[in-house]
Amino acid sequence: MVKRFCVLSLLFSACLSASALAQDSQPKSQELQAKNQSTFALKKQGQSTPNTKSFAQTYDWFLMTTGSLDGASYAGYAFNRAQFTLGGSFLAPLSGNWAVQGDAEVDEVQYSQNSAIPNGISERVGGHLFWRDPQSGLIGINTEIAHLYFTDAFQSMRYSIGPEIGYYKDRNSFSARATYRYWANNFDYGNSSLNYWSQGIDANGSWTYFVTNNFSTGLMLGAGKIFNRNQYLNFDYTAYRAGATAEYKFEASQFSLFSQAMYERGTLRITNFDLGLSSFRVLLGLKYNFGDKSLFDRDRSGASLKNAPEFHLLDDIYAATLPAG
């Protein structure tokens, strides 16, 4: 785990360095213009209707770390799940209103001993290609590749792709995304090996309101469905989720704190048997922001795009049901 963690961290650091070199190569006039725009936006903090005409997409990046705790249950059986994450994102402007954003993340998941589910690690790399107008919104496409590792016997590769849109109105930001996911799973037991695929779709929407330029609150809703097919076991999983978010960036500081509370309810159908699952998550995170963008500036012109929120019980289901196959 440590080796994978270090390799991915080095790769992400290299991406940040490349972006920094590219930023340094911009003409001085562009640097001054970007700085003046950021200064202007900061001066507008606290006003109800910021002047988004001054915003321009510029190089932007951040690193983050999070910790979360889930209380989950199915069929009256309860267990806990803790997750620790290290990741970050960077944005590079392209021609006109076009830009690209890259994301990298490492997650370590631990389950309570009574869950009968092995601990896991996921390594994820994603990207967004999009067109954005800071005055109105954005439209683009997002992709992600993830390696899921539970034990030496069970590993999976997950591939995701889908469209995303955003709409801006005064201090309100609305976003929506749809994602298609494909899992290539491998389960080794003894001298035999089981290879099978799974696929799923999900749709998510969010609303964020900026109380000030450096304090935001929001809500999000989502739904997803997954199909698991192999020669031993077929099942479907349907889930719905709702949550609330908040983020605060300290004045004259590069640091911001963010939090999330999320509830998920799902149904696992195996043949004609239905099993209800539910989970409540509380997440706290710390973010280090490079540059001087406020949270509002970043939302309209920086590295603000997110990968589609995951139905975090999905991977648990794979791990829990594979032995039955």
pLDDT top residue among 311 and 305: 305
Name residue 220's beta-bridge partners.
206, 243
pLDDT at 306: 82
Among residues 239, 247, 291, which one has the least CA distance to residue 265?
239
Give the chain's domains with CATH numbers: 2-324 (2.40.160.40)
pLDDT at 45: 46
pLDDT at 67: 94
pTM over 0.85: no
Average pLDDT, the chain: 79
Buried b (16+ CB within 10 A) or exposed e, 157-194: ebebebebebebeebebebebbbebebebebeeeeeeb
Mean pLDDT of the region 70-99: 89
pLDDT at 39: 44
Mean pLDDT of the region 144-163: 86
Contact 43, 294 (CB under 8 A): no
The pLDDT tens digits for 14-70 are 444 334 434 444 443 444 344 444 444 444 444 444 544 446 788 999 999 999 998
Using only C-alpha atoms, the chain has a radius of gyration, in whole angstroms, of 21
Among residues 291, 257, 298, which one has the least CA distance to residue 132?
298
pLDDT at 303: 94
The pLDDT tens digits for 182-227 are 988 887 777 777 777 888 899 999 999 999 999 999 999 999 898 8
pLDDT at 151: 72
Name residue 236's beta-bridge partners.
227, 269
